[in-house]
A and B are shown apart, each in its own frame.
Chain A
Amino acid sequence: MHTDIIQRCWRTLLGVLAGFLGVRSESAREQDFKEGRALHFVVIGVLMAVVFVIFVIILVRWALSILGA
């Protein structure tokens, strides 16, 4: 039960990440739609957008520290 939830979250997360890249295979998508819940995708999607923002901020900080500005 517990591992099941983790696994589903992981699948959703993979789906969202695949979305950010814009690549998803047909079979994986079918699984997403069969097993995934729209709400999970929305929540994880928004979360990942926040992670994306943090990632870019870290990237900027890192670039600036390298260039010594």
Chain B
Amino acid sequence: MGTIRTIIFGLSLALSSHSAHAEWALNLSPGVTEVSRSVYDLHMTIFWICVAIGVVVFGVMFWSIFHHRKSRGAEAHHFHEHTLVEVAWTIVPLGILIAMAVPATATLVKMYDSSEADLDVQITGYQWKWRYTYLDQDLDFFSNLTTPQEQIGNQQAKGEHYLLEVDRHLVLPTDTKIRLLLTANDVIHSWWVPALAVKKDAVPGFINEAWTRIDEPGIYRGQCAELCGKDHGFMPIVVEAVPPEQFQQWLAEVKAEKLAEAAAAEKSWTLDELMTQGEQVYLRACAACHQPTGTGVPPAFPALKGSPIALGDVGTHIDIVLNGRPATAMQAFRDQLSASELAAVITYERNAWGNSTGEAVSPSQIAEMLAGNADTVGEGAQ
């Protein structure tokens, strides 16, 4: 007994010393919404029920292992059925399950009631980024992983939020019922933020609903939960919950930024300026597939270096970047990047890695094409 007590003591010591480690988590987080807390309570209830059943069943088993061993002279007792006991151990678990089903049903019904929401956000999964559209707000942006390739490749020390950081947070107001409408552009993704207890698949061609009402301001991180191809592990979700007044302020700021961006398209850019911005855009939006060296991963992701498209007719090149290639991983970037970003990245692709066409694509050229074929191509792509 003494030794057992020492072991248990040692174990608890080891566990408690570890829990001082800030990021080290053993259990589900209770989260920051009413729903997530009831999910956590359900989880703990069923967990303790399992522990209790386990203690009884394994207790009887180990008692037999110690006391009914042949080496201790145990003789086998020849009984091999007992209807009363059997009925009892069927009815008791049944009762426990029913007791469990009641709160579970209540929580589930609550989770499914997405009516009377104050804000609607459409979430679209792309290979491998998320797009957030604030319905009725004329606001729409993509959210990309910002962890540098050097950190992933172990050439650089990893940051605090390694793989859980993005360029644009999904900013949401607290104390507001927010309805989330989920869909996908290519394959099935799944939008999951543990602190909100929301996980819902984003299925191409269909719209799923979920909702949340966040109690506390803060930053909550999550990841795509459904295998969606090569970079499934690299499309995190960052939700930033702010008080409603601050949210309104943020909305105004973002809209002003958008106007400034449109103005930037009007100015004339030099080849050097385009190349500098192009490289940044390329690394953020294109390098995951086409690789920073432009060599791609054929056949799924073709090389751009020396490719006939990057060296050939500029119109075709722009068209592919703008509208994508259906049924391949090449997406339409018309909505993902601004006109100046598009111009810069296409210029970069035509002049980097020894692709020296010397051509510069101007933002106004792109803006024209966007305006010109918005109706025809836009509908065709759907």
B27 within 8 Å of A by Cβ? Answer: no
**Complex-state Cα separation, A39 to B83, whole angstroms:** 26
For B112, give its contact among A22, A23, A69 (CB under 8 Å).
Answer: A69
**Complex-state Cα separation, A63 to B86, whole angstroms:** 29
- B76-114 residues with Cβ-Cβ distance < 8 A to A are 80-81, 83, 86-87, 90, 105-106, 109, 112-113
**Complex-state Cα separation, A21 to B89, whole angstroms:** 10
Residues of B within 8 A of A63 (CB): 105
Smallest Cβ-Cβ distance to A64: which chain B residue: B109
A4 within 8 Å of B by Cβ? Answer: no
Residues of A within 8 A of B112 (CB): 69
A21 near B113: Cβ-Cβ < 8 Å:
no
Residues of B within 8 A of A64 (CB): 109
Residues of A within 8 A of B113 (CB): 69
Smallest Cβ-Cβ distance to A69: which chain B residue: B109
Beyond A26-B80, A26-B81, whether A21 also contacts B109 by CB under 8 A is no
Q: Which interface class (under 10, 10 to 19, 20 to 34, 35 or more) fits A?
A: under 10
Residues of B within 8 A of A3 (CB): none
Residues of A within 8 A of B83 (CB): 23, 25
Residues of A within 8 A of B87 (CB): 21, 23
Beyond A25-B81, A26-B81, whether A67 also contacts B106 by CB under 8 A is yes
For A67, give its contact among B81, B90, B105 (CB under 8 Å).
Answer: B105
Give chain A's interface secondary structure class. helix
For B86, give its contact among A23, A67, A69 (CB under 8 Å).
Answer: A23
**Complex-state Cα separation, A23 to B88, whole angstroms:** 10
- Bitwise, B226-257 to A at CB < 8 A (1) or not (0) is 00000000000000000000000000000000
Q: Taking the nearest CB of chain A, how far is it from the CB of B313, in angstroms?
A: 58
**Complex-state Cα separation, A23 to B105, whole angstroms:** 28
**Complex-state Cα separation, A22 to B81, whole angstroms:** 13
Smallest Cβ-Cβ distance to B87: which chain A residue: A23
Residues of B within 8 A of A22 (CB): 90
- Bitwise, A1-40 to B at CB < 8 A (1) or not (0) is 0000000000000000000011101100000000000000
Smallest Cβ-Cβ distance to B86: which chain A residue: A23
A23 near B90: Cβ-Cβ < 8 Å:
yes
Smallest Cβ-Cβ distance to A63: which chain B residue: B105
Q: Taking the nearest CB of chain A, how far is it from the CB of B58, in angstroms?
A: 20
Q: Taking the nearest CB of chain A, how far is it from the CB of B256, in angstroms?
A: 43
B80 near A67: Cβ-Cβ < 8 Å:
no
Q: Taking the nearest CB of chain A, how far is it from the CB of B78, in angstroms?
A: 13
**Complex-state Cα separation, A26 to B105, whole angstroms:** 38
Residues of A within 8 A of B86 (CB): 23
**Complex-state Cα separation, A63 to B98, whole angstroms:** 12
Residues of B within 8 A of A21 (CB): 87, 90
- A52-69 residues with Cβ-Cβ distance < 8 A to B are 63-64, 67, 69
Smallest Cβ-Cβ distance to A20: which chain B residue: B90
For B109, give its contact among A23, A25, A67 (CB under 8 Å).
Answer: A67
**Complex-state Cα separation, A21 to B94, whole angstroms:** 10
**Complex-state Cα separation, A33 to B184, whole angstroms:** 55
**Complex-state Cα separation, A25 to B80, whole angstroms:** 10
**Complex-state Cα separation, A31 to B86, whole angstroms:** 19
Smallest Cβ-Cβ distance to B101: which chain A residue: A63
**Complex-state Cα separation, A26 to B82, whole angstroms:** 9
* Residues of A participating in the B interface, judged by any CB pair closer than 8 Å: 21-23, 25-26, 63-64, 67, 69
In the A-B complex, the 7 residue pairs with the smallest Cβ-Cβ separation, listed nearest first, are A23-B86, A69-B109, A25-B83, A67-B109, A21-B90, A63-B105, A26-B81
Known: A26-B81, A69-B112, A69-B113. 13 other contacts (CB 8 A): A21-B87, A22-B90, A23-B83, A23-B87, A23-B90, A25-B81, A25-B83, A26-B80, A63-B105, A64-B109, A67-B105, A67-B106, A67-B109
Between-chain CB contacts (< 8 Å), 10 pairs: A21-B87, A21-B90, A23-B86, A23-B90, A25-B81, A26-B80, A63-B105, A67-B105, A67-B106, A69-B113
